Amino acid sequence: MYLTKKTLEMFITFVGITIISFAIIHLAPGKPTDVLTDLNPKITPEARAKLEQYYGLDKPVTTQYVLWIKRVVRLDFGESFSSDHRAVWTKIKERLPITLYINIASLIIILAIAIPIGISSAVHRHTLYDRITTVGVFIGFAMPGFWLALLLMMFFGVHQHMLPVAGLKSAGFSGFSFSDQVIDILRHLILPIFVSAFGGIAGISRYMRGSMLEVIRQDFMTTARSKGMSSNRITYIHGLRNALLPIVTILGLSIPGLIGGSVIFEQVFSIPGMGQLFYMSVMSRDYPLVMGILTIGAVLTLAGNLFADLGYTAVDPRTRR
């Protein structure tokens, strides 16, 4: 029952997202392609004709949308404007995995660091430790990700030569042994993953602290204490499980930010992922590619939200009815 409801909601959200994405191409006044050509003299008449045909721009808007959505569900986003003329989906497909790996790795790191910090600063409230983490969280909230990336690049790459600061592979990568290849890629990924996780660590640890404080005050915690259970047992068995619930929701809500952030760190660290592809497509006004990545990004977010809902079901038995 719960899952059916969630699936229905997700379907409505998907339709809504596609309508908003579709509306963007009609932002420009007049016929979309007119303005596109004015803004971008590089678009050839041939590309323009293709775009008009792809969107069926001679038909009414509702028909256009239906035609477009029919193609989108088959992952047909048309052909890129760039000189290679490859299909948009092919271009996205080869860059998607690396973006996903980095985002999943940073999610895991966010959880692994933020939850213990949040719990311990709630349990040891008003101590020096709590104050230090609070200051750290405030700095983390305010830190622009791209600036952190620049500082790390400056420190590790330029001054220390400890870690590589651009791309995924060192020169001569294909000559390395398998284990060296793995180590090489991991060394390239440390900084991007850290930058991508940084803001989330601050946010989630703050929410975890708040959520834990709320739970500590609840009646059932007092009951457990009055029954003579040990303090640690109460905190970690009774408290943690209840305090995790809101975090699962917030984690779901933070996925769009993570995916959006990949544009920044992939651009700064020259990671050949979907974010960098999106940046390049925006810069060159490669509209089919822009629309394709926007849609895929939204679908990824939906998938993330679905996982968050499943996680919620796993932690909260009340939703299983």
**Which one-letter DSSP state was computed for residue 174?**
G
Told to check if 6 binds another protein by CB under 8 A, we report no
Give DSSP secondary structure letters for 62-130: HHHHHHHHHHHHTT---B-SSTT--BHHHHHHHHHHHHHHHHHHHHHHHHHHHHHHHHHHHHTTTSHHH
CA 139 to chain centre: 21
Cβ 205 vs Cβ 247: under 8 Å: no
Return the number of the residue (131 or 233) whose C-beta is nearest another protein.
Answer: 131
Told to check if 244 binds another protein by CB under 8 A, we report no
Binding segment for another protein (CB under 8 A), chosen from 70-78, 167-175, 179-187, 264-272, is 264-272
Task: State the minimum distance, in angstroms, from the CB of residue 102 to another protein.
Answer: 15
Distance (Å, whole) CA 7 – CA 4:
5
Told to check if 47 binds another protein by CB under 8 A, we report no
Interface residue with another protein among 72, 92, 277, 290 (CB under 8 A) is 290
Interface residue with another protein among 164, 192, 200, 297 (CB under 8 A) is 297
Told to check if 147 binds another protein by CB under 8 A, we report yes
Angle 99-101-106 (CA atoms, 0-180°, nearest 5)?
95
Distance (Å, whole) CA 84 – CA 4:
43
Interface residue with another protein among 144, 162, 241, 320 (CB under 8 A) is 144
Interface residue with another protein among 66, 112, 154, 162 (CB under 8 A) is 154
- Please name every residue paired with 87 in a beta bridge, in sequence order, or none if there are none: 79
Interface with another protein by CB under 8 A: which residues? Answer: 9, 12-13, 16-17, 20-21, 24-25, 27-28, 35-36, 39, 125, 138-139, 141-147, 150-151, 153-154, 158, 209-210, 213, 217, 253, 256-257, 259-261, 263-264, 267-268, 278-279, 281-283, 285, 287, 290-291, 293-294, 297-298, 300-302, 305
